[in-house]
Amino acid sequence: MATASTPPSMPETQDVAPRRSDRSPWNWLLLVPIVVPLLVPIYNSVDPKLGSWPLFYWLQLAFVVLGVATTALVYRMTRRPAAEREAAARAVVRDQER
Query: What percent of the chain has pLDDT above 90?
Result: 32
Residue 5 inside a domain? The answer is no
Could you tell me if 55 and 48 are in contact, meaning their C-beta atoms sit under 8 angstroms apart? Answer: yes
Domain ranges, residue 64: 24-97
Residue 18 inside a domain? The answer is no
Residue 73 inside a domain? The answer is yes
Report the domain count for the chain.
1
Is the pLDDT assigned to residue 93 strictly greater than 90?
no
Alpha carbon distance 91, 82 (integer Å): 14
Tens digits of residue pLDDT in 72-84: 999 999 887 888 8
Residue 84 inside a domain? The answer is yes
Could you tell me if 91 and 17 are in contact, meaning their C-beta atoms sit under 8 angstroms apart? Answer: yes
Q: How confident is the model at residue 37 (pLDDT cuts 50, 70, 90)?
A: very high
